[in-house]
Structure 1
Amino acid sequence: MDITEEKTAGFRQYKPDLTRQPDFESFWYQAMEEVFPAIGSQSWRVNVESEKLDRFEVSYDLVLEKYPFPLKQVIIYQAQIEAADGTLLKGWYLLPSTASPENRVPGLVRFHGYSSNKGKISELLLWALQGYAVLAMDIRGQCGDTPDGRSYSAGAFSGWLTLGLDSPMEYYYRQVYLDSVQIIESLARRPEINEAKIGLFGNSQGGGIAIAAAALLEKSSQRNPQITGKIAAINAGIPFLADMKRAYLDHGDGPWAELSWYFRMHDPLHEKEKEIFQTLSYFDLINFAPWLHCPVLISVGLKDTACPPSTIYALYRHLAGEKTIIAYPDYGHEDIDNHTDKHIAFFAERLLNTK
């Protein structure tokens, strides 16, 4: 037995029970109706000032402003779209100059890591120069140009992981997941995009969001014919937000330390521990994984102390479709350079038809 096999032997057998609450499915069906209201009806959002419900039409139309850049092969835009709660999400949209309604290209959505942002043009050119259209948007409230327009009934510790923990309806990642499905749909409806060839990717938080959003779209498309995007492939690098209680128990650093501080400041005896993890269960990737059937490539660093390897294997075990996990024994929670070539080949085979 080699070192990698020895290190992963226990992880490969680890498949914890799902932690879905009885209303998990109905909770997300109701939430998705905010982004995909029934045909002929309007969606709604809470008007913070009047505390009344405002009816409105959900938009899937990206507002694009051309951004000057000295490359002829790629057209670059600053992108913006209004989220279901009225927050303006901002990012980049890179388009191969040959793309058109007559020459539709595969589309990629890149989700960024925790406390990061939409990224630099240079990061996205890697994909646009291969022939993909690439959409990369800020996650609300983090370190980009996009605010978080929601109000919360209490504060949080440091970042976003403990924001809105009082209830699943209020929890921060509820709106983040809904933003993400709207972003994917906005790309799929572009006239220059082949909506049957959409790929999602990201590291850490970005990989986790990609999994959750794709699962929500696949499950909801069974009931809602308005959903047009077809997720053909996902690369989830060192994904965050999986097997949350185990992640909290085993973490050594990273965002899960925020929950430790939250307990210290708000619940030092863990008297509300059960309720807190019930709230988190609505957002735990292992509970979404059985809904997802598209091909998924996952990377894991076996020295990762922010997203413990056991939690990533738990996600992998619960995925319902074609799946591959690649373990890197000497990497922690970091961008794994050697994985990029495998990521490129994985997407090319499924989205560019390079076989």
Structure 2
Amino acid sequence: MSRVYNFSAGPSALPEQVLHQAQAELMEWRDSGMSVMEMSHRGKFFSIIAEELESDLRALLSIPDNYKVLFMQGGATAQFSFIPQNILRGKTKACYINTGAWSEKAIQDAQNYCEVVVSASSETSNFTTIPDPAGWVLDEQAAYLHYTSNETIHGVEFSDIPESHGLPLVSDMSSNILSRKFDVSRYGLIYAGAQKNMGPSGVTVVIVRDDLIGVVDKQVPPVFNYAEQAKNHSMLNTPATYNWYLVGLVLKWLIKQGGVEAIEQRNIAKADLLYQTIDQSSLYRNPVESSCRSRMNVPFILADQNLDKAFLAEAEANGLFELKGHRSVGGMRASIYNAMPEEGVRALCDFMAEFERTH
């Protein structure tokens, strides 16, 4: 078997060490006599997995004690609806910053539950920048301010935590959680699908401040209710047990790498290498304003779009997969999450240089 470099935006590459450990433990986890896939989520063995999972995530992100950590299903997409159902707390408005496709989807779903105030938008720039915070219009009567910290499709990332001016700050961190250091206490709620930086699809992490939960409409099903999920340790129904286990392995791998601080330095080096290759080229171009370029998702366009098919075919022949850009924007996209080694990025850059030379 020859593994390729997988630049998929998600589900994305997992650390090889994690895959090897999962393979070794497939038939029996520790001395349990059974696979994790066979365990009762109420049993003593899975309880250990669940406790270590939350403990490791709290340690990696320095999550304060007054925050609940939930492991839910339905992806970040389900959270677009769960968030207003859970934290409006009797208010009728919520503020959203629109910086790309995932922001738009969050706005669209939230409109089913409240009046959405679009406090700022970069739509007129084709989502190639972040609106100047000085021009954001925040409604002080809103329940919260929502933003997407990294737009997977458009390749735009916030480099700093925005000022919410007293509103609880809510962030979709699906594609950059655990890739850089940040202060959890600045947020009211953070959510992230696991399938980019944390593990396989099927698990969504929600980190929410205690005072924001517990006031919901009676029509909200308990399985969607953060307070009820917290009371039941995210096990109101049978969770995706094997996926929890795999997320746990990724967290332990990250701890061994030196934690979030260490992985952030690697991510900076990888992104700098790829952007340098693009910027020094006459064939490739990244459309995003340099101040808000994503470290995780790097879109680029070929000067001659007639070369797109050849680029993708030759890339795969060189073991470089999943480089086609999202269908809504075209071009190419390299997703270089935590699990992507620097060697993979160097291999891509070498290929890009050779492709430009020969074409």
* TM-score (normalised: structure 1): 0.27
- Normalized per residue, the structure richer in strand is 1
Greater C-alpha Rg: 2
- Normalized per residue, the structure richer in helix is 2
Higher relative contact order (CA 8 A, sep 6+): 2
